[in-house]
A and B are shown apart, each in its own frame.
Chain A
Amino acid sequence: MPIQLTGVSYRYGQSPALRDIHLVIPEGGLTVLCGVTGSGKSTLLRLLSGLEQPTSGSIDYSHADSSASVSIVFQQPESQLFAGSVRKDVEYGLEQQAVPEPRRSEAADRAMRQAGLDPEQYGQRSPFLLSGGEKRRVCIAGAIAPLPRLLLLDEPTAGLDPPAARALLETAAELKRGGYTIVVATHDLDCFFPLADQVAVLAQGALRYSGPPDGLWKGARVLEDAGLEPPAYIRIGRMLMRQGGLDALPSGAGELLAELDPRSLVYPGSGAGPAAAGGERPSAASLSSTAGGAATDAITAADTDTDSADGSGSAKRQAGLVLRTLDPRVKWLAMALWSLVLLGMKSILPLALTTVLVAVLLACGGITRKRAVWFYRPFLPMFLFLWLLSAFSWSGADGAASFAFSSEGALTGGLAVLRLGLLVSLGFLFTETTSGAPLREGLEWAIAPLGRLGVRTRNWSLAVSVTLQFIPWILGKISALQLALASRGSRKRGLARWTPRQISLMAVPLLLQVIGMGDELSTAIEARGYDPSKPRTPWLVLSWRRKDTAALLLVLLAAALLWWVSGV
């Protein structure tokens, strides 16, 4: 039975990501989803996987168990490998579905083989130490182990070297022959079009074409209008047809070569082409003169349209300007002092007052709602979980285990969670209203006296400011890991995503990604010629103005007031 999408739309906040998609995905076929970055490919994959629900419209899987039998492989393998060995990772999804032994290990063996991994050779190896192509295979093996009715692949060949990409393509072809229904979102049309039974072209969230690939070449410039280029074998095929060397467009590079009329390639002899003799220009010049012209145009065009999209946000930006232009030293002091006072708060009143203070500052800080939601969302379930944990008590005495709610526990726990939330909010407010350079200068100024004790203050201030900037990156990675875990059988929502088991599963891959990022960043810093022993020209010179003094007084006043209230 095919999978049917009827009038599917999806919105991210206010902006529509997908609009009114009608599409049928044939069973046992391979559908290629293509479009430029931001056209809605990845969103559509997530809707198909059941990880997100359409804002309107419906997806009919024509099976009772619906989206439970859909597997998705994301673009970055680093964000979806969790277990200590390849075998355990492949078995993870089966374990979640409570598949008993020995069926579980049989299924894992079969999946590894289908994904091109020898279970004997790879089973016990750590997935984190494999090459990029092998990691992709582990992800695919994990995805097909539960025998999904639908397999979704997001950019499966991106970042692989050509032999690895080709091998992966063969695996995809093998899976298709094995009867899987596959949807691939990709930029690599040359590779995947020859395999496709159906192509769906997306542009700006709307479906521009769906049907067999050769239907694309018949009439209008569908691909070109969607910002894409037809595969090389089509471009060359068209050219050869104009020359009379080919009768019909090929369905792949191999067919192009096979069908080509050898008579059209006969060398006309040395006298025929005087223009080409000797004076041929270096090839790259010709390639880039066309592409280069277009790209430069694009760059200049982008450069001229200055801040045109900022109409509605300008008022908020204005409000945030005051906070943003404050001297970073005031903001550092505010954060440090208020955090200290916060830690000492035990009762409702001071915490409520601080909540009001933080809320007012967040509102004045020019932080968009979308940004705030994006920031707080990963924390909320954890906070709720911690709160519930403190509100319930578990007593296993007298042989009769009982589960009791304690209002006292709920109150103290709630206050502790609120305190934690406020600390996190202060950090969020600070980093949102202070960019890297002032943050670093302010800190360097504050810790400058330590320099006399031999502390390398410049290194420290750089490290802290870079780390603070990468908190959003880490949050992004956490949600990618959660999404991957959710896709692997345990479709947990809300609180269940923060159980100790889930957190421990995510710890290793997250840590490895953070270490990798740190390594790459420090290389980049070194490559730019950063040298703490040399004199330095600061980009920003701190200058204390009258409004900073006023702000300082307010900060101190607020801190004193809150401290006094929490002492009462």
Chain B
Amino acid sequence: MIHASHLNLTLLDGQQSLTVLQDINLHIEKGEWVALTGANGSGKSSLVRTFNGLLVPSGGSLTAAGLDLRSPENRSAVKRSIQLVFQSPEAQTIGSTPEEDVAFGLENRGISREEMKARTLNALRRAGLGHKARAPVSELSGGERQRLAIACCLALEAEMIIFDEATSMLDPVSRKEIFAFSRELWRRGVTVLWVTQRMEELAAAERVAVMDFGRLVYDGDPRTLFYDSGLPAALRWEDSPVIGIGRKMRDSGWPSDRLPLTEQQLEEALCRYS
């Protein structure tokens, strides 16, 4: 789905040129669910914005959804298959009602009005907003606005959805709900790139990529990341209670592949043997 090799990105900031991304090699296959993390300013958002053609790499090669993103036509075409859900719930609603908002993304797709209506309503229903299709968007909660953004991706039949810290401004209840929704979409075949700062979401992923100062410093499974890479200490991450106990378990002789990442795994491990 995404093939980035030796990707560089330099932006001009007044007279100075600013290196944002340096030599990134990242390959995401169709049907994967990948978590991407890194401190604020480490280049996460810039990286994912190159994937759907919003930013143009200054060097290296980038193919997304089979399109070489060095050409402007392909950068425009890739927005058909790769969609972004942004962080701010307010700053990505363009229509004044959910149905107008979803329809906005469909107006340049060369489809008939009947299909547009059908796709819009279907997408809103799937996102649990069917009953609010015509409500003013100002009445939607933060979580509902993010579901609306997801509905826009669904209406566009996106093959891949990138969530760029899409839950960081939500309360815990909505945050879990959107996370679970992304997992559900993934089970139905959508490729997901989940950008996050939350340790428990990294621990729950199959694959984690970590950025630091514009470089990709880790790409692999979360167990190795947390227990064997030494990165959490280097990046000044604080261990979650589960990982803290896991480290003690390793000291007590547990093999690496049995160390827990989630509370449920911890409970299973201790339950089974006690």
Which residues from A are CB-within-8-Å of B39?
A: 161, 163
Which residues from B are CB-within-8-Å of A479?
A: none
Those of A331-375 within 8 Å (CB) of chain B: none
Contact status of A292 and B183, CB under 8 A, knowing A243-B270, A306-B131, A527-B54: yes
Which residues from A are CB-within-8-Å of B222?
A: 283
Q: Are B83 and A187 in contact (CB under 8 A)?
A: no
Q: Does A232 contact B (CB under 8 A)?
A: yes
Q: Are A529 and B108 in contact (CB under 8 A)?
A: yes
CB 8 Å contact bits of B176-188 with A (1 = contact, 0 = none): 1101110110000
Shortest Cβ distance from residue A411 to the other chain B in the assembled complex, whole angstroms:
38
Q: Are A472 and B91 in contact (CB under 8 A)?
A: no
- Complex formed: what's the CA distance from A236 to B99 in Å? 43
- If A303-B128, A536-B107 are given as contacts, then 4 extra A-B residue pairs at C-beta distance below 8 Å, sorted by A number, are A163-B235, A265-B270, A280-B257, A435-B96
Q: Are A256 and B95 in contact (CB under 8 A)?
A: no
Please give me the residue from chain B that is nearest to A286 by CB atom. Answer: B264
- Complex formed: what's the CA distance from A70 to B97 in Å? 40
Shortest Cβ distance from residue A295 to the other chain B in the assembled complex, whole angstroms:
4
Those of B109-147 within 8 Å (CB) of chain A: 109-113, 116, 120, 125, 127-131, 136, 138, 141-142, 147
Q: Does B18 contact A (CB under 8 A)?
A: no
Q: 11 A-B residue contacts at CB 8 Å? A: A232-B241, A236-B245, A256-B245, A295-B181, A296-B184, A435-B96, A472-B138, A521-B94, A523-B54, A528-B156, A537-B111
Contact status of A529 and B156, CB under 8 A, knowing A295-B176, A305-B131, A520-B86: yes
Which residues from B are CB-within-8-Å of A285?
A: 183
Contact status of A436 and B169, CB under 8 A, knowing A276-B269, A295-B180, A526-B54: no
Binds A, one of B4-12, B19-27, B60-68, B202-210: B202-210
Shortest Cβ distance from residue A566 to the other chain B in the assembled complex, whole angstroms:
34
Contact status of A131 and B41, CB under 8 A, knowing A236-B245, A436-B100: yes
Q: Are B96 and A437 in contact (CB under 8 A)?
A: yes
Those of A491-549 within 8 Å (CB) of chain B: 517, 520-521, 523-531, 534-539, 541
| Most chain B beta-carbon contacts within 10 A, residue among A288, A535, A541 | A288
Please give me the residue from chain A that is nearest to B106 by CB atom. Answer: A537
Contact status of A235 and B263, CB under 8 A, knowing A292-B180, A520-B86, A539-B116: yes
Please give me the residue from chain B that is nearest to A272 by CB atom. Answer: B273
Shortest Cβ distance from residue B246 to the other chain A in the assembled complex, whole angstroms:
10
Q: Are A262 and B128 in contact (CB under 8 A)?
A: no
Q: Does A244 contact B (CB under 8 A)?
A: yes
- Complex formed: what's the CA distance from A535 to B265 in Å? 53
- Number of CB contacts from chain A to chain B under 8 A: 254
Q: Are B241 and A537 in contact (CB under 8 A)?
A: no
Q: Does A166 contact B (CB under 8 A)?
A: yes
A-to-B contact residues, CB < 8 Å: 36-37, 131-132, 158-164, 166, 187, 227-229, 232-233, 235-236, 239-240, 243-245, 253, 256-257, 260, 262, 264-268, 270, 272-273, 275-276, 280, 282-288, 290-292, 294-296, 298-300, 302-307, 435-437, 439, 466, 469, 472-473, 517, 520-521, 523-531, 534-539, 541
Q: Does B90 contact A (CB under 8 A)?
A: yes
B110 CB contact (under 8 Å) in A307, A435, A535: A535
Q: Are A288 and B100 in contact (CB under 8 A)?
A: no
A162 CB contact (under 8 Å) in B100, B238, B249, B261: B238
- Complex formed: what's the CA distance from A521 to B149 in Å? 13
Q: Are A267 and B54 in contact (CB under 8 A)?
A: no
Q: Are B97 and A302 in contact (CB under 8 A)?
A: no
Shortest Cβ distance from residue B150 to the other chain A in the assembled complex, whole angstroms:
11
Please give me the residue from chain A that is nearest to B39 by CB atom. Answer: A161
Shortest Cβ distance from residue A498 to the other chain B in the assembled complex, whole angstroms:
25
Shortest Cβ distance from residue A428 to the other chain B in the assembled complex, whole angstroms:
14
Which residues from B are CB-within-8-Å of A291?
A: 176-177, 179-180
Q: Are A435 and B97 in contact (CB under 8 A)?
A: yes
Q: Are B263 and A253 in contact (CB under 8 A)?
A: no
Q: Does B242 contact A (CB under 8 A)?
A: yes
Q: Are B112 and A537 in contact (CB under 8 A)?
A: yes
Contact status of A520 and B52, CB under 8 A, knowing A282-B206, A296-B180, A435-B96: no
Q: Does B2 contact A (CB under 8 A)?
A: no
Q: Does B152 contact A (CB under 8 A)?
A: yes
Contact status of A537 and B79, CB under 8 A, knowing A253-B241, A469-B96: no
Q: Are A284 and B273 in contact (CB under 8 A)?
A: no
Please give me the residue from chain A that is nearest to B177 by CB atom. Answer: A295
- Complex formed: what's the CA distance from A161 to B39 in Å? 6
Contact status of A530 and B180, CB under 8 A, knowing A187-B172, A236-B245, A287-B262: no
Q: Are A227 and B173 in contact (CB under 8 A)?
A: yes
Which residues from B are CB-within-8-Å of A132?
A: 40
CB 8 Å contact bits of B219-263 with A (1 = contact, 0 = none): 000100000000000011110111011001100111101100111
Which residues from A are CB-within-8-Å of B183?
A: 284-285, 288, 292
Which residues from B are CB-within-8-Å of A270?
A: 255
Which residues from A are CB-within-8-Å of B236?
A: 163
Please give me the residue from chain B that is nearest to A38 by CB atom. Answer: B141
Contact status of A539 and B241, CB under 8 A, knowing A162-B199, A283-B261: no
Which residues from B are CB-within-8-Å of A521?
A: 91-92, 94
Q: Are B245 and A257 in contact (CB under 8 A)?
A: yes
Please give me the residue from chain B that is nearest to A252 by CB atom. Answer: B241
Q: Are A303 and B40 in contact (CB under 8 A)?
A: no
Q: Are B206 and A284 in contact (CB under 8 A)?
A: yes
Shortest Cβ distance from residue B210 to the other chain A in the assembled complex, whole angstroms:
13
B131 CB contact (under 8 Å) in A264, A303, A531: A303
Which residues from A are CB-within-8-Å of B76?
A: 529, 531
Q: Does B266 contact A (CB under 8 A)?
A: yes
Please give me the residue from chain A that is nearest to B152 by CB atom. Answer: A528
- Complex formed: what's the CA distance from A537 to B107 in Å? 5
Q: Does B74 contact A (CB under 8 A)?
A: no
- Complex formed: what's the CA distance from A479 to B92 in Å? 22
Q: Are A267 and B254 in contact (CB under 8 A)?
A: yes
A437 CB contact (under 8 Å) in B33, B103, B262, B273: B103
Shortest Cβ distance from residue A458 to the other chain B in the assembled complex, whole angstroms:
10
Which residues from A are CB-within-8-Å of B84?
A: 527
Which residues from A are CB-within-8-Å of B104?
A: 528, 530, 539
Q: Are A267 and B240 in contact (CB under 8 A)?
A: no
Which residues from A are CB-within-8-Å of B96?
A: 435-437, 439, 469
B100 CB contact (under 8 Å) in A158, A161, A232, A437: A437
Q: Are B171 and A529 in contact (CB under 8 A)?
A: no
Q: Are A257 and B91 in contact (CB under 8 A)?
A: no
- Complex formed: what's the CA distance from A182 to B80 in Å? 50
Which residues from A are CB-within-8-Å of B169?
A: 158-159
Q: Are A161 and B95 in contact (CB under 8 A)?
A: no
Q: Does B29 contact A (CB under 8 A)?
A: no
Q: Are A529 and B80 in contact (CB under 8 A)?
A: yes
Q: Does B105 contact A (CB under 8 A)?
A: yes
- Complex formed: what's the CA distance from A278 to B136 in Å? 51
Q: Are A267 and B249 in contact (CB under 8 A)?
A: yes
Which residues from B are CB-within-8-Å of A439?
A: 96
Contact status of A276 and B244, CB under 8 A, knowing A161-B40, A243-B274, A525-B94: no
Q: Does B168 contact A (CB under 8 A)?
A: yes
Complex A-B, nearest 4 residue pairs according to Cβ-Cβ distance, in ascending order: A299-B128, A436-B96, A520-B91, A292-B180
A131 CB contact (under 8 Å) in B40, B80, B262, B263: B40
